[in-house]
Amino acid sequence: MTVILGQTFTGISIGAVLLLIALGLSLTFGQMNVINMAHGEFIMAGAYTTYVLQKSISSAGLSLLVALPVAFLVAGALGALLEWVLIRRLYLRPLDTLLVTWGVSLMLQQAARDIFGAPNVQTRAPDLLTGNITVIGGDDPLTFANSRLFILGLAITAVVALSLTLRLTPLGRRIRGVVQIRDLAEVSGISTSRVDRTAFFLGSGLAGVAGVALTLVGPIGPTMGTNIIIDAFLVIVVGGIGQLKGTVIVAFVLGVLQSVLEYSTTVSVAKVLVLVAIVAFLQWRPQGLYTLRTRSLV
Minimum CB distance to another protein smaller for 110 or for 130? 110
* Structural contact between residues 47 and 224, judged by C-beta atoms closer than 8 angstroms: yes
What values do phi and psi take at 58, rounded to 5? Answer: -75, -30
- The dihedrals phi and psi of 131, each to the nearest 5 degrees, come to -85, -170
Q: Which of residues 85-104 bind another protein (CB under 8 A)?
A: 86, 89-90, 92-96, 98-100, 102-104
Binding of another protein at residue 81 (CB under 8 A)? no
Q: Of residues 22, 234, 253, 254, which one binds another protein by CB under 8 A?
A: 234
* The only residue of 18, 20, 23, 35 in contact with another protein, by rule CB under 8 A: 35
Q: Does 127 bind another protein (CB under 8 A)?
A: no
Question: How many CB atoms are located within 10 Å of the residue 110 CB?
Answer: 12
∠ CA 176-179-182 to the nearest 5 degrees?
Answer: 115
Q: Which is nearer to another protein, 58 or 283 (CB)?
A: 283
Do the beta carbons of residue 253 and residue 11 sit within 8 Å? no
Helix (H) or strand (E) holding 142: strand 142-145
Other C-beta atoms closer than 10 Å to the C-beta of 32 total: 23
Q: Does 282 sit near another protein (CB under 8 A)? A: yes
Task: Round to whole Å and give the CA distance between 45 and 98.
Answer: 19
Asked if 115 interacts with another protein (CB under 8 A), we say no
- Distance from first CA to last CA of the chain, Å, rounded? 45
Among 3, 5, 69, 110, binds another protein (CB under 8 A): 110
**Does 277 help bind another protein (rule: CB under 8 A)?**
no
Identify the helix (H) or strand (E) that includes residue 134. strand 132-136
**Residue of the chain from 279, 293, 294, 295 that contacts another protein (CB under 8 A):** 279
Minimum CB separation of residue 96 from another protein in Å reads 5
Pick the closer one to another protein by CB: 89 or 245: 89
> How far apart (Å, rounded) are the C-alpha atoms in residues 83 and 78?
9
Give min distance, CB of 134 to another protein, in A.
33
Q: Which is nearer to another protein, 86 or 156 (CB)?
A: 86
What whole-number distance in Å separates Cα of residue 221 and Cα of residue 44?
A: 7
- 245 contributes a contact to another protein by CB under 8 A: no
Cβ 214 vs Cβ 43: under 8 Å: yes
* CA pair distance 202, 210, nearest whole angstrom: 12
Whole-number minimum distance, CB 117 to another protein, in Å?
A: 12
168 binds another protein (CB under 8 A): no
**With binding defined as CB under 8 A, does residue 298 bind another protein?**
yes
Output the smallest distance, CB 121 to another protein, in A.
18
**Residue 85 carries which side chain, given as an amino acid letter?**
V
Residues at the contact surface with another protein, assessed by CB under 8 A:
29, 33, 35, 86, 89-90, 92-96, 98-100, 102-107, 109-110, 113-114, 226-227, 230-231, 233-234, 237, 241, 266-269, 271-272, 274-275, 278-280, 282-283, 286, 297-298
